[in-house]
A = this chain, B = another copy of it.
């Protein structure tokens, strides 16, 4: 039998201040006695109702299923201000606080578009490889689908994700508005190296310029070494063909690298000796430092984590047991450890990590917390297998300053008030 806590004693042992419990609670069934306060109630005197949906047959089958109509509020948050030059510029952000696990439902995967979503006819679409190659090649979708494929679970994170936390004062923003430019899918496609091998890379080539078929012709420069290692031309996400808002009919996955390098609606790959200096790697997506110099071509998204529950809009219902749950990821490798704090970083305890732990993929972490009803500041701090640790906001500000909005990866905080409401805070 599993080890259990004594009846009436707190569920699990304290592991850090303000109620963080040992992660052994997840392994040893130690929750048993204490968790009665988590929400179960005695069924002794309550006959189970026969609800109307048991009294008549349900509805029949759909060719393509959808979520329950009771979940109609679980949607992306759209920010797309009017633009005199075009339309569809902006973001649709993922409501991470309403999700669980590591896979993002495809319908809720975040989206960043620079000139709307093109309506591409896959029979007419072509992908060309040219520039410094021996044999320029053109691929139909049908041709691409004949090559050997590879599947991997990987995150894509916009370089601007969490950039709102550079503001001098903590704004009353929710999860999607701050951290919702993050998604994770099982991506399947053809290795770019397979196609580059076939085209025959010229020895002078060092970069691959990837161009999208949207009306912005969004373009990014990818180092040849990355293109030859693990970059995929994706035809599928979460099992089905890539969605229009995620790059239908074919997009790049550049594992771990900043979001817009994973070029959607891919039409062209040009091999060159130098980077393109495209608009989206010069006027945007550069890291402005505190001395007003900038870093360009910082590709991997650094180690990071965020608590998705509790979070703004997901109030606690009175003192008692709660699970703190969140996501941790690193563009540089695998997550090795996540620590959590309920006292704003004064004390920390390791969270439980739920495998598989994959490179450039999020990990779901979970920690047990006994909320005493008083104020708390919840934080998570991720460490990856290169040894990189998420910095505090002060450390991040000291190193880079807070002028930029890209690659913000400092520890984030949710303040819990006496009503159990969570809000964005700096701590």
Contacts and interface: CB of A to CB of B under 8 A. Distances in A.
Interface of A: 2, 4, 25-26, 29, 31-33, 35-36, 38-44, 46, 48-49, 51, 53-71, 74-76, 78, 80, 86-88, 90-92, 98-109, 111, 113, 115-122, 124-126, 128-130, 135-140, 142-144, 146-153, 185-188, 193-195, 197-198, 213-215, 217, 235-236, 238-241, 243-246, 248-249, 267-268, 317, 320-323, 325, 354, 356, 358, 364, 366, 368
Nearest to A216: B57
17 contacts: A29-B194, A29-B197, A31-B148, A32-B197, A35-B194, A39-B140, A57-B116, A58-B117, A60-B87, A63-B75, A64-B107, A74-B240, A100-B149, A100-B188, A101-B238, A105-B238, A107-B240
A323 B148 contact: yes
A116 B60 CA distance: 5
Contacts of A325: 149
A102 B151 contact: yes
A89 to B, nearest CB: 8
A100 to B, nearest CB: 4
A88 B57 contact: yes
A191 to B, nearest CB: 9
Contact of A64 (B44, B108, B147, B248): B108
B249 A105 contact: no
B245 A62 contact: yes
Given A60-B87, A80-B61, A103-B239, A322 B120 contact: no
A29 B187 CA distance: 20
Nearest to A245: B65
Contacts of A60: 78, 80, 87-88, 116-117
Contacts of A124: 49, 51
B194 A31 contact: yes
A364 B146 CA distance: 16
Top-10 shortest CB links A-B: A39-B143, A58-B116, A63-B75, A53-B118, A32-B197, A43-B136, A43-B138, A105-B240, A356-B356, A101-B151
A68 B248 contact: yes
A104 to B, nearest CB: 5
A119 B62 CA distance: 14
A148 B368 contact: yes
Contact of A356 (B66, B107, B126, B358): B358
A397 B97 CA distance: 51
A29 to B, nearest CB: 5
Given A31-B197, A42-B138, A99 B323 contact: no
A213 B239 CA distance: 30
B101 A188 contact: yes
Contacts of A268: 48
A44 B126 CA distance: 14
Given A31-B194, A194-B35, A58 B118 contact: yes
Contacts of A42: 135-138
Contact of A88 (B59, B146, B320): B59
Nearest to A196: B32
B57 A138 contact: no
A41 B148 contact: no
Given A100-B236, A149-B325, A151-B102, A57 B198 contact: no
B59 A108 contact: no
Nearest to A40: B137
Contacts of A74: 64, 240-241
Nearest to A93: B61
Contacts of A150: 26, 354
B198 A32 contact: yes
A71 B41 contact: no
A130 B333 CA distance: 46
Contact of A62 (B58, B59, B92, B240): B92
A27 B69 CA distance: 46
